[in-house]
Chain A
Amino acid sequence: MLLDDKALDDLIEESRDLQSDAMRSIAEPLGALGELGRERRASGAVDAEEGRLFASQRRTVLRNSLRQGGKLLTGFGVGAALLRLLESPALAQQPPDVQILQTAASLENLAVATYQAALSLPFVQAAPNTPTGIGLIKVFADTTMRQHAEHARAFNGAVTKLGGREQTQPNAVMLQVVNRARPGLTGPGPLVDLALELEQTATEDYVAGIASLSDVNGRTVMASIVGVESQHAALLRAAKALLAADAATLITLAPPVDAARLPEAAGNVGFPDTFVGTAKARADEEGAVS
């Protein structure tokens, strides 16, 4: 067999060039990957802009691989399908931390809407503006609604810091719970029950979220809120117990409650759990928006 030496040399040279180009092209994303990891470990937070850049570069590399190196796959249609997948929103879904925080914001939005609706109920509107009995429940609803609005803002602030979109809607799944309860909200008992369900759900969701979040800022925000929701729940339990004991007059701050008149059980009804569980925690993606 006769080979053209020059042609063979040219082929070898071309092969060497292709190899060098390939090594050069991988060096930059590898370096970026390493830098990203170092930054994340140093600060505990993901640089959102670099994350998007990396994800974009990764998809570009994969696309190019499919187009150039995967002609066989493309020929069978698999490559084309993979390319479509790469472009789809499903594969570009939010990171878990963003989803967790968006779901938290959705729970806060629901709480705001629910307390707002509660304040418009006839028996609540008719209550005196004094911190006693139903009046105190009215004060509680108003104050708590404002607190939840601040919580929603804080969670959304943490979301946008991670490059996610604000969640401005109420949690769709828990909204159904509220809507089912609305016709029965004819007195303080059912209202307290509904509010307690929302507060306890939020508390347990945030306990779960704190344990799951990688983003330190998100965890800090959630840690500053979980205790407040748990306090809402504690007071609602106390109110529920007093209402059930036909002792609404003991739901009072002005004048301060006469502790001697409190039923003994009122002493610990507010905190039945030694450790807050997470059975009511919502799925991470439940309130996510892309």
Chain B
Amino acid sequence: MQITERELDTLTRDLDEMHKASLAVLGQELEELAEKAAAATTTRRRFLLAGGFGAGAALALVACTDDNGGGPGAAGTGATTTTAPPLSDDARFIAMSASLENLAVATYDAAIKAVQENRLGGVPPAVVRFAGTVMRQHKDHADAFNAIVTRAGVPAVTGPDEVVKPLVDSEFAKVQDVAGLARLARVLENTAAATYQDGMARVSDRDSIRRLASVQPVERQHAAILSYILGEYPIPDTFSSTTKQGEEARPASDFKG
């Protein structure tokens, strides 16, 4: 075969160009793969929104009614009922957490009112101080959870946990003294803590995990001090539980938002 050097150079250049073209295709496909991998990472917006749920849509909250003049329900704040697209699992969990904090705020508020109206007998100053501080902390916790929910333009959760609230109302009506109040409060604290502990393994969004982790220990501390006031060893469990009977973690599916 006869081939000139010039022809060989041309063929070599053609071969080189074909090779580079194939690399370009590979590069493009690798980019697409990387984009898919990045898209699989949960962003805050992604965890809050689900299937076409756009910013500005309202949570569907059932208005809280108060038919117990002296119970925590009296302090509950209702919210308008609207139909909203479904929340993502993460969003529902954080919204549930906010509702639990709202319930705690309402309960401690009702307790303080009961003390002021002398309906619980003599209540030591340290216990009043405890209730006031804890109520404020729960309000801040609710605000922090709502900050996560509202960052995507979703209204804050202002009502209490609607499944637990009737149970708390019922138990609160039976409270006659500090010991009864402390036991009820401890159930609330441990239920909230169990819920957030469960959330740390369940939720995907990093900011939400961080927030749950910063709040859960504080609820456990509240519970420990309540146990101490009740004369019980404050830290009986080596590992805190999410399934302890009567203090189980709340399922996000119970939040009807």
Q: Which A residues are within 8 Å of any B CB, using their own CB? A: 1-5, 8, 37, 41, 131, 143-144, 146-147, 150-151, 154, 203, 206-207, 210-211, 216, 219-220, 223-235, 238, 253-257, 259-268, 270-271, 273-277
Taking CB atoms, residues of chain B closer than 8 Å to A228 are 220, 235, 237-240
- Cβ contact within 8 Å between B5 and A210: no
Residues 1 to 36 of chain B near chain A (Cβ within 8 Å): 1-5, 8
- Near A by CB (< 8 A), chain B positions 151-208 give 178, 193, 197, 200-201, 206
Q: Is the CB of B228 within 8 A of A224?
A: no
- Residues from chain B with a CB closer than 8 A to the CB of A273 are 218
**28 A–B contacts, CB within 8 A, in A order:** A3-B1, A3-B8, A131-B233, A154-B239, A207-B217, A216-B201, A220-B200, A223-B200, A224-B239, A224-B240, A226-B217, A227-B197, A230-B220, A231-B217, A231-B221, A231-B234, A235-B234, A260-B122, A262-B124, A264-B129, A267-B125, A267-B126, A267-B133, A271-B222, A273-B218, A275-B214, A276-B213, A276-B215
Q: Which of B141, B230, B239 has the most CB of A within 10 A?
A: B239
Contact between chains at B127 and A259 (CB < 8 Å): yes
Contact B125 A253 (CB under 8 A): no
| B235 in contact with A268 (CB, 8 Å) | no
Contacts of B200 in A (CB 8 A): 210, 219-220, 223
When distances are taken between beta carbons in the complex, the residues of chain A under 8 Å from B127 are 259, 267
Given contacts A223-B201, A234-B225, A267-B127, contact A276 B231 (CB under 8 A): no
Q: For A235, what are the chain B residues with a Cβ–Cβ distance below 8 Å?
A: 224, 228, 234-235
Q: Is A224 within 8 A of B218, CB to CB? A: no
A259 touches B178 (CB 8 A): yes
Asked whether A223 and B225 contact (CB < 8 A) given A1-B3, A143-B235, A267-B130, the answer is no
Tell whether, in the assembled complex, residue A265 and residue B225 are in contact, meaning their CB atoms are under 8 Å apart: no
Q: Assess whether B39 is interfacial by the CB under 8 Å rule.
A: no
* Chain B 103-136 per-residue mask, 1 if CB under 8 angstroms from chain A, else 0: 0000000000000000000101111111011101
Residues of B near A229 (CB, < 8 A) are 217
Q: How many residues of B contact A (CB 8 A)?
A: 59
Q: Which single member of A226, A264, A274 contacts B216 (CB below 8 Å)?
A: A226
In the assembled complex, the CB of B17 is this many whole angstroms from the nearest CB of chain A, namely 16
Cα distance, A1 to B1, chains bound together (Å): 9
For the complex, what is the distance from the CA of A210 to the CA of B196, rounded to whole Å?
Answer: 12
Cα-based distance from A259 to B130 in the complex (angstroms): 11
B239: chain A residues at CB < 8 Å are 150-151, 154, 224-225, 228
In the complex the two chains form, is A268's CB within 8 Å of B130's CB? yes
Residues of B within 8 A of A154 (CB): 239
The 7 closest A-B pairs by CB, nearest first: A256-B231, A267-B129, A230-B217, A227-B220, A267-B126, A268-B133, A267-B130
Chain A residue nearest to B216 in the complex (CB):
A227
Report B-chain residues with C-beta under 8 Å of the C-beta of A262. Answer: 124-126
CB-based contact A227/B240 at 8 Å: yes
Residues of B225-257 at the interface with A, using a CB-CB cut-off of 8 Å, are 225, 228-235, 237-241
**Which A residue's beta carbon lies closest to that of B137?**
A274
Q: Which of B193, B215, B225 has the most CB of A within 10 A?
A: B225
Residue of A nearest to B201 (CB): A220
**A205 vs chain B, min Cβ distance (A):** 11
Shortest Cβ distance from residue B31 to the other chain A in the assembled complex, whole angstroms: 15
Q: How far is the CA of A41 from the CA of B41 in the complex (A)?
A: 10
Q: A219-B200, A220-B200, A257-B228 are in contact. List 11 more A-B contacts (CB 8 A).
A: A1-B5, A151-B238, A203-B217, A206-B213, A210-B209, A210-B213, A227-B219, A228-B238, A267-B127, A270-B225, A271-B221
* A276 touching B224 in the complex, CB below 8 Å, given contacts A3-B1, A224-B239, A259-B124: no
Which one, A232, A267, A276, contacts B218 given CB within 8 A? A276
Please give me the residue from chain B that is nearest to A33 by CB atom: B33
Shortest distance in angstroms between A141's beta carbon and chain B's nearest beta carbon? 12
User: Which of B3, B126, B132, B210 is A263 in contact with, Cβ under 8 Å?
Assistant: B126
Once the chains bind, are A274 and B241 in contact (CB under 8 Å)? no
Q: Which of A8, A146, A262 has the most CB of B within 10 A?
A: A262
